């Protein structure tokens, strides 16, 4: 193996280990806050959609390395190329998007919001005021904010 190849492999290995350590630190200190978004979300909007596909398309079969952040993250398996394996990772999370809505409790009397969930339910509701509720039954699920305001749920 040539000296340059060895150096390149060592550099990639060090970069990978650095990235791994950062992710591990985030996991330990935040309680895995990154798990809220699908792993194939490249745009940071917590949804795997056409914007993420466009990034895969832009980097398709291109050389990926630490210099280009492994093709801006599109090389999920760090194989050095965005290929069918990375596309499979994207499709596994396709349209795995949270439902997000905004409520203005000052428009009506009272400060209560009701979510009428139906069918099979397995959800976590972040009410937007620091209250998080896990639900596994159809609604209605009611939350009282106690004060008027605009809340993203």
Domain identity same for 44 and 20: no
Tell me: cis bond preceding 140? Omega within 30 of 0 counts: yes
**Which domain, by its residues, includes 49?**
37-97
Helices (H), 31-145: 50-59, 69-72, 84-92
Distance CA(138)–CA(118), nearest Å, equals: 5
Structure tokens that stand for 139 in this block? 């609604």
- Does residue 90 share a domain with residue 44? yes
DSSP 146: S
Nearest Cα to Cα of residue 151 among 116, 121, 114: 114
Question: Are residues 112 and 79 part of one domain?
Answer: no
Q: What is the mean pLDDT of residues 19-35?
A: 43
> Based on the domain organization, do 47 and 23 belong to the same domain?
no
Q: Are residues 51 and 28 part of one domain?
A: no
Of 113 and 57, more confident = 57
Q: State which of 57, 77, 97 marks the end of a domain.
A: 97
Query: Residue 33 — very low, low, confident or very high, per pLDDT cuts 50/70/90?
Result: very low
Higher pLDDT, 69 or 14: 69
Q: What is the pTM of this model?
A: 0.52
- The structural domain count of the chain equals 3
In this structure, the answer to whether residues 64 and 88 fall within a common structural domain is yes
**Same domain, residue pair 90 and 124:** no
* Predicted confidence band of residue 42 (pLDDT cuts 50, 70, 90): very high
Same domain, yes or no: 46 and 90: yes
Q: For residues 108 and 145, state if they share a domain.
A: yes
Q: Is residue 78 located within the same domain as residue 118?
A: no
């Amino acid at each position: 193996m040539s000296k340059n190849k060895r150096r390149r492999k060592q550099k990639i290995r060090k970069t990978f280990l650095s990235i791994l350590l950062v992710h591990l630190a985030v996991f330990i200190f935040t309680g895995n806050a990154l798990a809220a978004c699908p792993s194939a979300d490249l745009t940071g909007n917590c949804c795997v959609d056409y914007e993420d596909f466009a990034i895969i398309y832009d980097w398709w079969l291109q050389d990926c390395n630490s210099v280009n952040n492994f093709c801006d993250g599109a090389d999920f398996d760090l194989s050095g190329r965005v290929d069918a394996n990375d596309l499979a990772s994207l499709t596994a999370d396709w349209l795995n998007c949270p439902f997000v809505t905004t409520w203005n409790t000052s428009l009506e009397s009272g400060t209560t919001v009701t979510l009428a969930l139906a069918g099979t339910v397995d959800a976590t509701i972040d009410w937007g005021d620091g209250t998080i509720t896990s639900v596994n039954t159809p609604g209605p699920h009611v939350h009282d904010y106690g004060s008027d305001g605009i809340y993203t749920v």
